[in-house]
Amino acid sequence: MAAIFLTGALSLGIVISILARTQLLASQLAMVVTFLPSFLLSGFVYAIDNMPQAIQVMTYFIPATYFVTLLKGIYLKGVGLRF
């Protein structure tokens, strides 16, 4: 699951770097487009249940939400590979 998330994130990073004219602009766009929404709206910092309903709906479209859920399952609950 992590490989799927990282493939999408790297692909978006490549697209941003292709479209930007300078390295500074590419890094700033990457921060605004990916890092800030993922960090704030994924449930990592703030609980999704405490957010307003409109923002809760937006969190379903952010892939980092599912990645944070995956990581919480692995580290906090001790869920491993099940065969």
DSSP line for 5-42: HHHHHHHHHHHHHHH-SSHHHHHHHHIIIIIHHHHHHS
pTM beyond 0.85: no
| Residue 14 confidence class, pLDDT cut points 50, 70, 90 | very high
* pLDDT at site 23: 93
Cα 62 to the chain's mean position, in Å? Answer: 6
- Where are the chain's structural domains? 2-75
